[in-house]
Structure 1
């Protein structure tokens, strides 16, 4: 009995110590989080035995009573961050969930993490506006939201994060004007590859140009670009100061000098008045002379303002534009309509008066959305580095004007002068496949479902097959940004086709093929072919299936991810399901259709050109696949790659690498 009286207090003491050494509330929060989100099997948090402080990715304080760090980068987390889970870790200092497949908005209850110092959410699919919850995290020193789908404006309230040393917002869809961020401790800043516009605030001009690259309408120091109008005009000459006119540097003038200047100014004003009166009288005499003799005859060269014929309609340009372009009396530079001309009736003067908005800058030029005064909206592509002669340019565009197909965006008009080469197209308000596929994936956006993606792929394939067949034209630049959408996915249209001959031979045409879409042999031959078009189309199909943009340098190095090689590596490991876009995983009974389209895509993207199918065969296979799906399934004899689904998820090899300036 005495022994029990001695030992019981000791046991009770150790039991209390053990209870105090386990973060019970934090443990419950972690278990709630991991049970509500798919994850990699290597996260084996044992709910029954081991301490939460010993779990993978979890770091506790010294007495093991609270979780200070949660680091789960690249562990295959898929879905939305469950609210009411991580936000309960009240002592959390570091949270790293980067390089997963998280989507949706950042939970609002993250504002409870008031002690958080580092937040790493980069390389996910998170969306919505700049997370409001972050404004409350005033102790944050590092914030990385890069490589997601956040949109809207960057709020001025980011200045509330007064302890920030690093802010990384690159490769999202943020728009609007950059706020003046004046946090003294900020030493690392990046907003590159968003949709920001306007000038860079003075408080941010200390950061390098790379911090702002890829924002097409952003200008000012440290960028070399400046905001320009549709047709940039030369800067006005500076007005000379009185000091420079007189040659004196003194701030004070004598009385005689002042009188002399006044007299000289009066004489100059009198002379200018007499000259103006002379020209006014001369103009009146000319007008009266014309009235007496009848209306003047328009010279034949200048009177070709409108003509009908096989090429459509031509509109005369402004006299000063013609003069500036160096046209003689025998030849006027005009806006020339080709094909049917789309029923447009404007001229170059109307185009010059139109309000213009930059839609995008590519290797072949800049595209503008031009809204004419009467309300007509068109797209004007301002070409650069054109090497073709005027005649070759005109013949090439006239040929393109005769190409007609529902799934090809027609050229409506062109303008050629020594300094300007323009193409005019219809404006499609639905945007490009690239913007719809990789745009903001938050609330308010309707994601591209499987049926829409399949129809768009078929539409683009039919347009390309028509180019290769009846038109006998090489597209030369097949990519997602050149697939333009209409309300009906079956009517999606390929644009920018057949422009390669305008830029001549050599390395330039190769560089105009978007990185990631470029067939291997094109780098050597420096010439696009039907087979290289098929390769690019195969990459486009892989982009639709995976949701990955092959030209994202952050994913796979300077030239972007090699999408075919990445897909092959994942399929080789028998993790085919890991290939597909997380947005497609919500649709039931489409997995085998996706696998079959994946096989077609890989055949198109074969390294050997002769192993690639013809576009007509590609379209036929896709139509058969779409037909089988509409009839309710795939026949038993179809040979498909089987998808392993024994485990929820597995990190894909060759995935996104950590970003410079970010931490795990």
Structure 2
């Protein structure tokens, strides 16, 4: 009886082994592997023979039942060219893809991102170019993404933050640019974006990684790298505030002007008046000699406003302005109430907040966030300097810091309110502004569309409008590129 049982067990084992020996992945997976090998030149012979089971091919690993392909590992086999579409993506249960250390070119095929079972992608040390597709965020099971030492460009997609199982992200040695997205996944243990062209501040969620993970990005700053330096000093207190009203300020005694200084000021004023009188006399004589001529028509602020479609602001009209800070984002006052609050706070700290205009009320930052932002100089002009400011939360804006603008608070508010009502596709609207006695800032949307020269010469009939503030006058300029010739 025992001998019969042992024979039955032995026969069952032999039968199961025979079944495994003849088990084979579906024909669709076998044809997908052969299509990939046929379409991709390779220097080493892989020995993929149609007469042998696919699970025994070099680099191909099947599951325990030998019924489906779960791994494709072909590192350093001399693959040349792009990954052919509709080949590897026909392996629906593929979990590991390793094609590292070859000469693969082109971009990452979109159909690879349909393999929902992928847990690891190793494509490092190739010549892959283009951007990292945002569809990588659909790979919910992905644990390792290694794309280092390629020619990838563009930003790091924020979709990586949705990969809850991601443990390793290696992107070093590429040409990636822009800000690093805040990846808050606590499972991420291996992270490296060194030797790229990234900029801005390092997100706080990634500051736990060593400095070597961010080295080689000259425009990166923040922990663990050196701190980001603000692009302009803290604004001066609003009108009516003494230095002692600021926290931590030290009161200083006012120094009286000496008699020599007063005399010098008086003499200088007299000289300036005499020069002005002399200039007026010379102009009058030259007009008499040349005869009456039609002078240029004076353009008032109201005329300028009508020319551009902007009605001159009434003295009591303050509709459209919203004053905002982090403390009152939930129930901020808008319209005339906001303007009244700003006017009433001209002698207190309320006037030192940003005043948002029009669609700028959708921003969620305040003056303190703006002062902490990392920035770069976009350009300098006769009325001030423009900066590209990248806030810690990821928002990018343009800040224009005005200089030598002597204007009263009421007139400044009126000009800003009128400018904030203008909405035109060729006009970059002002979204917010800051006013104090010695500091005036304008905040615009950031448009990453290249330089003015590219806009003028790269597109026909491009109209660029920009504005700046002078005392008691809102000046608007318009530049129009030449029209292309009409087709014959």
Using the size of structure 2 for normalisation, the TM-score is 0.48
Using the size of structure 1 for normalisation, the TM-score is 0.36
Whose relative contact order is higher, 1 or 2, with alpha carbons under 8 Å and at least 6 apart?
1
